[in-house]
Amino acid sequence: MQKERVVIIGSGPAGLSAAIYTARALLNPVVLTGVQLGGQISLTSEVENYPGLFNPEATPTGPDMVELMRRQAEHFGARLVYEEVTEVDFRHGPPFTVKTHGQTFSADAVIVTAGASPKHLEVPGETEYVGRGVSYCGTCDGFFFRGKDVAVVGGGDSALEESIFLTKFADKVTIVHRRDELRAGPTLQKRAFANEKIGFVWDSVIDAIEGNGVVQNVKLRNLKTGAAGDMTVDGVFIFIGHYPNSKFLVDELAMDEHGYVITDEFMRTNVAGVYAAGEIQDPHYRQIATSVGQGVAAAMQLERWLAAKE
């Protein structure tokens, strides 16, 4: 068992920000990155709304931000371990136990920044065609749809951001939304409506995804009229929200009915010495900037808590 002062679970904006602050406080944090270094922003094509990074000639990408934050964290002494947490024991600490597939860590304090994952439609054909036309990341897979027609499911910021990105490759992008108006911000809506490659199917859902080895068609249903129909597409990109990655925390931390970790205004959980930040505890804002602030707040409170104990 490795004895550590601070273990940070997750490597998104909240986790890497917490790593920078705890490292600069000489706490030598270990960051357990999970399956994706950088979390969801590593899958984001362009970041236009993060303060201080604006460059109209070369808009920074999510991977750009992740690389900068990683280098900054490691510069100050954070250590990144590229493993996923499988189990924790917070009820009998401190010290707290954090296990990965290959290692066990004992920590005086922990910051949980495990983030969230995309929701699925849970319709016939969705699972079958993942990687063969069904995707949850336009940035990752858009290149494979050059000259093709794709559907995007959702009406929020992510759906429109990814739709706009996909127009770099696809001939046509059709946004399927279950309502008659979008939830995305005004700027994104304006860009989407102005893009001649983007079309809309309103008040509708996808009931099934069909194909023959690869996606070829979706079954549509209008929620107001009940009318059903088919739409020929080569790909389906799904952006209908997220769920917190909190299964490994069941019975360890207090959570709400949706599985989000409950924290107070100081990012404290119900267990003294365990903090949470980012989308694991934030179903409302879900922005890079807010996750960074929450990670910083958690790190500062943790440092003060350890100092008070000593």
Q: Render pLDDT for 195-240 as a digit per residue (tens, 0 to 9).
A: 999 999 999 999 999 999 999 999 999 999 999 999 999 999 999 9
Q: What is the pTM of this model?
A: 0.83
Residues 296 and 192 in one domain: no
CATH label of the domain that carries residue 278:
3.50.50.60
Can you give the pLDDT at residue 145?
96
Residues 184 and 88 in one domain: no
Q: How many structural domains is the chain composed of?
A: 2
Tens digits of per-residue pLDDT, 64-81? 999 999 999 999 999 999
Helix (H, G, I), strand (E, B) or coil at 268: strand
Can you give the pLDDT at residue 41?
87
The average pLDDT across 304-308 equals 97
Structural domain of 210: 134-238
Specify the higher pLDDT residue, 57 or 135: 135
- Whether residue 286 has pLDDT greater than 90: no
Residues 7 and 74 in one domain: yes
Residue with tokens 């409170």: 301
- Whether residue 305 has pLDDT greater than 90: yes
Q: What is the mean pLDDT of the chain?
A: 95
Chain centre to alpha carbon of residue 166: 19
**pLDDT over 70, % of the chain:** 100
Cα–Cα nearest to 276, from 58, 10, 60 = 10
Residues 187 and 160 in one domain: yes
The average pLDDT across 57-62 equals 84
Kindly name the residue from 108, 137, 157, 282 that is annotated as catalytic. Answer: 137
Residue 205 located in a structural domain: yes
Residue with tokens 């350890």: 306
Kindly name the residue from 89, 108, 141, 171 that is annotated as catalytic. Answer: 141
The reply to whether 137 belongs to the active site is yes
Residue with tokens 């799904």: 238
CA distance linking residue 53 with residue 47, whole number of Å: 8
Residues 6+ apart with CB under 8 A from 307: none
**CA separation, residue 136 to residues 182, 260, 272 (Å):** 19, 21, 36
The reply to whether 64 belongs to the active site is no
Kindly name the residue from 64, 89, 108, 140 that is annotated as catalytic. Answer: 140
Q: What angle do CA 74, 76, 79 make, to 5 degrees?
A: 40
Residues 32 and 105 in one domain: yes
Which amino acid is residue 29, in one-letter code?
P
